[in-house]
Structures are given as C-alpha cells and as structure tokens.
Structure 1
Amino acid sequence: MDRPPHRAGRRDRNRDAHGAADRAARPCAHAVMARSRKRRWRYRILPLCMLAAAWLVGLFLFVDRIPVESDSRDASVQTDAIIVLTGGRGRVARGTTLLASQAGRWMLISGVGANVSARELIPADRLTAETLDCCVTLGRAARNTRENAVETAGWVAENGVTSLRLVTADFHIPRSLLEFRAHLPRVEIITDPVISENVRLDRWWRWPGTAFLLAEEYNKYLAARARLFVTLMLDRT
C-alpha cells in the first residue's frame, strides 16, 4: 500500500535538513580537528625547542670555560707528577719541558700505543737517558679520557702522589678535569692546557670545523657528567 504523499514529503524534507546540517557542520569539525592537531604538534615541538635552546646556551657556557692558559704556568710551582694525555700535538713536548724544568718529579704519559717506546715520544735532546729511565712512565691501558683517569688513579696510588699537573689540549681540559676529579678526589690538580692551533676559540661559531669539534666535545662532556651522576646515585643506594 502506498504511503500518503504528505508523510513521504516530510521525511524527504527531514532528510534534506539533516544532510544540510551535516554539510554545514563538516567545515567546523575539520577546523576543530585542525586546531587540535596544531595544539598536539605545538606541545610536541615546544619541549624540543626548549631542549635545543638549553643545549645551545650550555655549549656557549662550556666554550667560555675552556682555559687559554695554565692554572699556574710558573714552573717553580712544583707538583709531585706531570700527567700527559696523548691524542694531540704538543702535549708530550709540553710535559717534557715541564719535567726538564723540574715542575714535577715524575711524568706519566697515559694512552701510549703498545709498540711505542719512550724514546720515540721524547727525543734524546729533550731528556737524558737517566731522567727517562727514572722519571717517565708510559701508560698503555687507556683508550679514552675515563680510562686515562682510571689509569692515572692506579699509578698515583702506587707512587703516593698528592698533586699533579694535567697536560692536555685546551678544549679537552673541562672533560678531563671532570673525570680526574671524580677518580682522584683527594689529589690536587693543576691544569696545563696545550693551545690547539687549529681550534679558533675567538668567535668559534664562525668556523665550521671548530664549531663541530667543540659541539662534539660538549656532547662527550654531557655524557660523562650523566654517567658520573648515575654512578654516584647507584653508589648511594
């Protein structure tokens, strides 16, 4: 039986009204969803931006802490030992000069290759054979800065050292000092940075090679701090 015409027309009008309402609401729904997505994206990107800004500020502060001269360049300030960390030009030469001028009684060169002799590192005209035999030790166990500190700590304990002069590259001083103070808390440490000719600390951000090197060193410094902090917390538990 056919439905009355007026009822079918009413349903059609209702259907058309609902369709029109849906079409009208669709742009609003899309706008709400778009705003929601923007908010979610903003909440995700904001912490990353803040983290990047904090890292960048920290990098500038880190570079500002890199020493441009020794704690005490005066060789008359004597320490028990001179510790030279291998890995860059001028470090062994600086340590040899300090030992020859009696700025320290002994010298440990940490991080020496297995087949490298003392005489290969130090020419005969820099130190006598007698001084080389009595006062220079080659440490061969270390392969990184943390191991340099561990190796030095063992050597210091064996020889009763209470003060040392740390010789390494200028940009390497902050991380080296961090590791050495952690492993040698009761030993007085004087830093003696070797100025790196190819590292331009003045307006360093203008030199891509220097900027990359310093950023890499800063990341290593942060990793070392985090590792030492975790170790300290675990030791307390």
Structure 2
Amino acid sequence: MIEAADTDGQGATSVYAGNAVTESRQAPHRLRRFARFAAAAALVGVVAYCAGFFVFLADVSAFRTPTTDRQADGIVVLTGGYSRVDEAVRLLDAKKGERLLISGVHPSASPAVLAKAFAVDEDRFDCCIDIDHEALDTIGNATQTAEWARDNGFSSLLVVTNDYHMPRSLLELGDAMDGIELIPHAVVASQRDPESAEAQADRYRVLFGEYLKYSAARLRTLVTPHAGSSSTFAKASLSPSE
C-alpha cells in the first residue's frame, strides 16, 4: 500500500511537472502572438491617422470657397495669421456683420494703434469694433468669442482666420457655444499654388502641424467639455488717454 501510494505521488508530480513545462513553452508563443497583434493594430492606427490627414486637407481646401455673400450678426477674427484683420475689417465695412471682435490682441496694442495700423476710421472703430486682449490661443479665442456673442445677443457669426486654421477654430468655437451659427470665411495666404518644391514642403509642414493640433483638440473636446469664461467685453474707445 505504501509503494502504491508512493507511485501515485510520483505520477502526480510528473503530471504537474509536465504541465509546467507545457506552460513555459507556450508563454513565448503567446508573447509573440501579442506582439504581432500590437504591431498590426499600431499599423492600422498609423494608416487611419494618415488617411485622416488627407480628409483634413480636403476640409481646408473646401474653406477656400468665398462666403462674402453671407451675412451674420457679428464678425470675429482670430489674430495671428496672414491678413486676417484686414479681411475682417473689409467685411465689417461691407456690412456683413453689425460688430467686429478682434480676438487675441497683444495687451500693449491700444485701439488707437490698431485703428492706425489697419486704416480704420476712428468713429468706425469706436462704434463697431471690440478688442479681446485675454485670449492667448485658439481655446482662449473660443472662450472670449462665446462671451462676446452672448453679451451682444448674436445668433450667427462670421469666423475669419486662415484656411489651415479654420477646422480647429470652428471646432473650438462650436465647443464653447451653443445655438450660434458659425459661418467660415477663410483667408488664404496665397491664391496661387506654391511655385517651388520648398514652398510646397513648407506649406505641408504647416498643414501637418495644424492637423496634429486639430487632432489633439478633437480628442480633448470629446473627453472634456469646454468650461467657458467669465470675462466681459468693453467697447473699444479711442479717447486721448489711449
């Protein structure tokens, strides 16, 4: 009986040892299979992200279509790019909106300086142009614009910025406000295609950089709602003290 018990014990030990060997042999196989799966998933992600860049390029191209026939309650221009403010002032002069907000102006730039820089009549500046000195980026532009539109009771806005910046601007503005129609009016740095390969490369670098920012903004707006702002807007004044 003792020998039988010993034999059974040895058999059990042999079975457990065999299972351990089998598990140890299967572990590298599982690891390789997981690595292949992860590599395939990463490749699919990269391909999808690159495909999204081409969709982004199509969107940017679509914004080049003029919208000067459209009229809105107000006009907002996001500073920082080629001829944006000049175009926004032209739209205001053409009565495409009741008021103009210049968002993202450096704190040192007074209304008087801006009026001179953009050749705006001082009376026109006093009556119809507001300045936002608070916004430091596109998120800030959206926050300040939402407050301005709400304070003025506007239900539609002409959005003026460069074509490559328009998708992210509309995304941030739309996230910051509800019930306001956003009408894009893109400013294109050059109406002609770049003539040199270097100029084309520079433009695509700018576009891809903006695509990265747009992707990050889209992810953020999906995860975290825009908090808004408590800022208020004062009418621009061209008093002698300025």
Residue equivalent to 2:137: 144
Residue equivalent to 2:156: 163
Residue equivalent to 2:3: none
Alignment RMSD: 2.9
Deviation at 1:177, TM superposition (A): 0.6
Residue equivalent to 1:68: 64
The Cα offsets for residues 156-187 of structure 1, whole Å up to 9 and x where unpaired, read as 11111111100000011111011111112211
Unaligned runs of 5+ in 2: 1-25, 226-242
Alignment of 1:76-115 (within 5 A): 77-115=70-108
1:73 is aligned with what amino acid?
T
Bigger radius of gyration among the two? 1
**Matched position secondary structure for 2:98:** strand
Alignment of 1:12-51 (within 5 A): 39=33, 41-51=35-45
The Cα offsets for residues 106-146 of structure 1, whole Å up to 9 and x where unpaired, read as 10000000001234334378321111011111101101111
Alignment of 1:219-230 (within 5 A): 219-230=212-223
Residue equivalent to 2:206: 213
Change (3 A) 1:143 1:199: farther
TM-score by length of structure 2 reads 0.73
2:68 is aligned with what amino acid?
R
1:217 is aligned with what amino acid?
E
Of structures 1 and 2, the one scoring higher in RCO (CA 8 A, sep 6+) is 2
Aligned length: 197
Residue equivalent to 1:22: none
Do structure 1's residue 121 and structure 2's residue 105 form an aligned pair? no
**Matched position secondary structure for 1:46:** helix
Distance 1:199 1:142 in 2: 32
**Matched position secondary structure for 1:52:** helix
Question: Is the CA contact 1:205–1:211 (under 8 Å) kept in the aligned structure 2?
Answer: no
Deviation at 1:65, TM superposition (A): 0.7
The Cα offsets for residues 181-217 of structure 1, whole Å up to 9 and x where unpaired, read as 1112211111100002399599x99932222211111
Distance 2:180 2:188 in 1: 24
Structure 1 residue aligned with 2:181, among 169, 188, 196?
A: 188
Distance 1:38 1:49 in 2: 16
The Cα offsets for residues 27-80 of structure 1, whole Å up to 9 and x where unpaired, read as xxxxx999887655433322221111011000000110111123x222xx4311
- Quote the sequence identity (%): 34
**Matched position secondary structure for 2:107:** coil
